[in-house]
Amino acid sequence: MPGLMSGSSRDYRLLLLGQTTSQLGSQVSAVAVPLLAVLVLHASALQLGVVNAAGTIAFLLIGLPVGAWTDRWRRRRILISSDLARAVLLATIPIAGWLGHLSITQLVVVSLLVGAARVFFDVGYQSYLPDLLGPERVLGGNAAMETIRSTGQVAGPGLGGWLVGLAGAADVVAVQAGTFLVSALSLLGIRHREVRAEHHPGPARLRHQIGEGLRFVRGNRVLRGLVLTSALGNFAFSVASSVVMIFLARDLRLSPALIGLITGGGSLAALAGAALTPRLARRLGSARAVWLPLAVTAPLAVPGALARPGWTSWLVLLGTAAGEFGQIVYAITSVSLRQRLCPPRLLGRVNATTRFLIMGLFPVGALLGGALGTLAGARVTLLISFVLLAVSVVPARRALGGAREVTDLAPWEPAT
C-alpha cells in the first residue's frame, strides 16, 4: 500500500479525505442515532428495527435503476449530490431536537431519504474508483481507502458515545451532517476527467439495461457465490442491528461510553484488517483471501451473545473485533474481484445489482430482528444472527473452489 499512497494523485488524496471525514461522522452517528431512539425516544426493539430498515430499504426500491443511471451519468456528480443531500437531511434531526419536535417518525423518514442518497453514492463510488485508479490498482486502492476510513471508524464510536453523554444524541447527529459537507467539497476539488460512458449497443430502455446487469451476475458463478455470501452476512448483521444496542444498554447495563469503546474496538480491528489485506492477498492468494479470513473469524462472534453483566461483557468486544477483521478483508477482496471481473460498461449495473441483492435483505432482517427481539429477547436474536454469520462464507468458498489467484478466474465472461 505505501507504493500506492506515495504515487497517488491529488485527486485520489481528495477522495480519501472526503471518505475519511464522512466515515468519522457516520461512525459517530451510528452510536448516536440508536441511542437517541432508545434512551431519548424510548423506542422498542420493533421501532428500532423499523428505523434501521428505513435506512436500507432504498437498495430494494431503487437499487437496480440507479445502476443503469450510473452507467449513463457522470459519477463524480452523483457522489457530490449524494453527500449534499445527506448533509441537509441529517441536519433536520438536531434542529427538530432543539425545537422539541423530534419523533420516531422523523427518524424513519430521514433514514429512508438518507438511505436513498446512500444508494446513489455507494453504486457511484464503486464504479468511479476503477476509472480514477485503473483496474489493475483497485485492490490496493480499496485497501488504502478502507484503511483511511477505518481510522475514522476507530475514533468515531468512542467519540460518539462520549459526545452523547456530554451533549446529547440529537446534537451529535449534526457532526455527521458536517462531515458529509466536507466530503462534498473534497469531491468538488477533483480534476480527473471521467471516461465517457460507452454507447449502449442494445435498446436504451431502462428495463433492458437493468436486465443486462442481472443476467451478467446470474451467469457468472463467482459473482453468484459472492452475492450469496454477502447477502447472508448482511442479513445476519441486520437481524443483530435491531437488538444489539438494547442488549448492550439494557442486558449488559453498559454506559454509552463503554458501548462506544466496544464498537471502537471493532473498528480498530477493521483498521488492522484493511491495512493487512494486500499482505494477506499475497500470502494466501488474491482469490483465497476472499473467503479464508472470513471463515476463521466469523465463528468467534457467537460467544458474544452469551455474555452477562460483568467481565464476560468483554466477549462482545472479542466477537466484534474478530468479526470486523474478517468482514473488512472480505469486503475489500470481494469488491476488488468484482471490479476486475466486470467489463467497464456494465460496472454500474453490476455494482447496483449486487448491492440490490445484498442490501435488499437488510430491511427484512431488521424488521425480523425487531420482532424476534420483542418475542424472544435480544440474547436469542443475537445468537441466531451470529450463527448465520458463521455459515455465510460457504457460498463464496464453493464458488471460488481451489483457485488461489484472481488471474486463475476468467474475466468478464460468465464462468461455468
- Identify the H or E element spanning 176: helix 169-188
Residue 135 is predicted with a pLDDT of: 63
In order, the DSSP letters of 311-330 are GGGHHHHHHHHHHHHHHHHH
3-class DSSP state for residue 409? coil
The answer to whether residues 212 and 87 touch, using CB atoms and an 8 Å cutoff, is no
The answer to whether residues 37 and 104 touch, using CB atoms and an 8 Å cutoff, is yes
3-class DSSP state for residue 181? helix
CA distance 283 to 30: 34
Provide CB contacts within 8 A for 402, sequence distance 6+: none
Residue 6 is predicted with a pLDDT of: 39
- Local confidence pLDDT in tens for the 416 residues of the chain: 444 443 347 777 787 777 777 766 666 666 677 777 777 778 777 787 788 778 778 877 887 888 777 777 778 888 899 899 999 998 998 888 888 888 888 988 988 898 888 888 888 877 787 777 766 677 777 777 777 666 655 565 566 666 666 556 666 678 778 888 988 998 888 877 766 655 555 445 777 777 877 888 888 888 889 989 998 998 998 898 888 888 888 888 888 778 877 777 777 888 788 888 888 988 998 888 899 999 999 998 888 888 888 888 888 888 888 888 998 899 888 888 887 777 777 777 887 788 787 777 777 888 898 889 889 888 999 999 999 999 999 999 998 887 787 766 655 544 43
Using alpha carbons, list the distances in angstroms from residue 239 to 29, 91, 225, 244, 365.
19, 28, 21, 9, 5
Q: Which of 48, 81, 146 is nearest to 40 (CA)?
A: 48
Q: Which of 319, 66, 348, 306 is nearest to 217 (CA)?
A: 348
In order, the DSSP letters of 355-371 are HHHHHTHHHHHHHHHHH
Q: Which fold has domain 2-193+206-407?
A: Growth Hormone; Chain: A; (1.20.1250)
Answer left, alpha or beta for residue 412, where phi above 0 means left and psi between -120 and 50 means alpha.
Answer: left
Q: How many residues does the chain have?
A: 416
Cell numbers for 368, please give them.
425480523
* DSSP letter assigned to residue 39: I
Cell numbers for 357, please give them.
441483492
Residue 150 is predicted with a pLDDT of: 62
Residue 320 is predicted with a pLDDT of: 84
Provide CB contacts within 8 A for 74, sequence distance 6+: 194
Residue 356 is predicted with a pLDDT of: 80
Domain ranges across the chain: 2-193+206-407
In order, the DSSP letters of 386-412 are HHHHHHTTHHHHHHHTT--SGGGSPSS
Provide the CA 382 distance to its chain's centre, in angstroms.
19
Q: Which of 383, 148, 165 is nearest to 260 (CA)?
A: 165
Beta strands in 279-411 (DSSP E): none
The answer to whether residues 299 and 22 touch, using CB atoms and an 8 Å cutoff, is no
Provide CB contacts within 8 A for 218, sequence distance 6+: 224
Residue 380 is predicted with a pLDDT of: 92
pLDDT digits over 346-391, tens only?
A: 777 887 788 787 777 777 888 898 889 889 888 999 999 999 999 9
The answer to whether residues 284 and 400 touch, using CB atoms and an 8 Å cutoff, is no
CA distance 250 to 245: 8
Residue 385 is predicted with a pLDDT of: 92
Other residues' Cβ atoms within 10 Å of the Cβ of residue 375: 11
Residue 84 is predicted with a pLDDT of: 93
pLDDT digits over 116-157, tens only?
A: 888 888 888 777 877 777 666 777 777 777 776 666 555 655
- Identify the H or E element spanning 414: none
Residue 296 is predicted with a pLDDT of: 92
3-class DSSP state for residue 24? helix
Residue 414 is predicted with a pLDDT of: 45
Residue 7 is predicted with a pLDDT of: 35
Residue 22 is predicted with a pLDDT of: 73
Cell numbers for 330, please give them.
472480505
The answer to whether residues 330 and 142 touch, using CB atoms and an 8 Å cutoff, is no
The answer to whether residues 196 and 16 touch, using CB atoms and an 8 Å cutoff, is no
Residue 392 is predicted with a pLDDT of: 92
- Identify the H or E element spanning 289: helix 288-297
